[in-house]
Structures are given as structure tokens and as C-alpha cells.
Amino acid sequence: MKIILLADKEQKEELVPRNQNISAELIWTDELASLENDTGADACIDLIFDDSVERLKKLRQLNLSIIVINSVVSTLNEFGADIIRINGWNTLLKRQVIEAAGHDTLKGKAETVFSSINKKIEWVPDIAGFISSRVVASIINEAYFALEENVSTREEIDTAMKLGTNYPYGPFEWGKKIGLQKIYTLLKALAVAEKRYEPAILLTKEATG
């Protein structure tokens, strides 16, 4: 199995740690333009996908058996049934199980691709935010509401959530690792249908300021 991995260094290390033996041959780059149309690869995992039609067109030109994109907010309705969509937010790529959505005809191929890098796929509905990102974004948003109301400090909230609930990161720490812009974008998209996802004023300011 030969896989193109479009990722930055942090994403690559989360998905395929250096000390891990994998059966796949990886072609790793952070520049799509550096790839030839005929790489001999079987698949591509694009973790730096920007949701653009232009980028997807270039990926399709690589003539691969399967294309996997990191698209947490946009769904397959916007891209087509020939693509697998995964939840590739930073910190979530470390997990053994990766959330994904895709057409039934591609699921077997996708499972083979991820098995070759020692990951499993959990198939979930093709909805904005998947499941984990909805939960994590909501936790971070609630922490910002608490901060706005002077319930506690950032540091104390982070410590309380790590010690009290055994979260891997405090909500402010988590937001920084994922990127507040990503959190904000997802919350705004979800808030169109459900107002409970409306971003906190302080989160909005920090994400867009």
C-alpha cells in the first residue's frame, strides 16, 4: 500500500508516530503542487485540505483509488460521493480510531488504507462536526462563557477539567492546539440550526480578532 500523506509535521506525527512500524509506504509532503500526476500511489490522505473545489480537482487528477480529506465542517454533499471525509483536527488524530463518513462502496478501501497505518475507522453520519468535534467545541465554548462570567481563570478552568474529568487537555489549552478559528467556524455553522452552539463573545473576539 502506497499512500500520499499531505500534512504538516505535527499532523504527521499525530497520525503516524515516529516510533511506530507501519506496513504502508508513505509519500509525505505539505505541498500538493509538488506531486506528479502519476505517483504510483494507491491513496491520498489530505490533512491540510482547505475545502476548496480547486484543491479537490487537483487531488482527483492524481488518479488514485481513494481520496481521504480532512473536512470537519463541510460535508460530502458539497464534495461528491467519491471522497472519504475524516475528522482530522489536531489532538484527535492521535486516537486509535478515526471518525469518518463515506459512501458504502468506498468503506472497505478506506479501512484498508487506515489499517496499513495502524488506525481503525469509526463510520459516523455525514454531519458537520462529526461527533467528537461537536463535543470538544461545545466544551471549549462553555469554558469561554465561564470565563466571561468570571467564574474562574483560564488556568484554573484548565486544571479543573483535566483533574476533575480526566480530559487530556484543559478547554483553553485544547482550543489553542486545535486552533480557535476552527472551533469558531464549526460553532457558527452549527448555530445556524441550533442556537445552543452560538460562540461566546470572547471566543469570537479571540478567533476573529
pLDDT at 37 over 80: no
Separation between Cα atoms, residue 24 and residue 95, nearest integer Å: 18
Return the percentage of the chain with pLDDT > 70, whole number: 100
Three cell numbers written together for 76? 460530502
| Buried/exposed 149-158: b ≥16 CB within 10 Å, e otherwise | eeeeeeeebb
pLDDT at 43: 97
Q: Where are the domains of the chain?
A: 2-123, 132-208
pLDDT bin (cut points 50, 70, 90) of residue 209 is confident
**133 — pLDDT class (breaks 50, 70, 90):** very high
How does DSSP assign the chain, residue by residue? -EEEEE--HHHHHHHS-TT---SSEEEEES-GGGS-S----SEEEETT--S-HHHHHHHHTT--SEEEEE-SSS-GGGT-TTEEEE---TTTTTSSEEEEE--HHHHHHHHHHHHTTT-EEEE--S-TTTTHHHHHHHHHHHHHHHHHTTSS-HHHHHHHHHHHH--SS-HHHHHHHH-HHHHHHHHHHHHTT-GGGPPPHHHHHHHH-
Q: How confident is the model at residue 41 (pLDDT cuts 50, 70, 90)?
A: very high
Q: What's residue 144's pLDDT?
A: 98
CATH placement of domain 2-123: 3.40.50.720
| Residue-wise burial string across 81-98, b where 16 or more C-beta atoms lie within 10 A, e elsewhere | eebbbbbbbbbbbeeeeb
- Tell me the Cα Rg of the chain: 18
pLDDT reported for residue 14: 96
Shortest CA distance to 203 belongs to which of 130, 71, 185?
185
Where do we find the cell 458537520? 128
- pLDDT of 123: 98
Look up the CATH number of domain 132-208.
Answer: 1.10.1040.50
Q: CB of 162 within 8 A of CB of 107?
A: no
Q: Give tens-digit pLDDT for 163-206.
A: 988 899 999 999 999 999 999 999 999 999 999 999 999 999 99
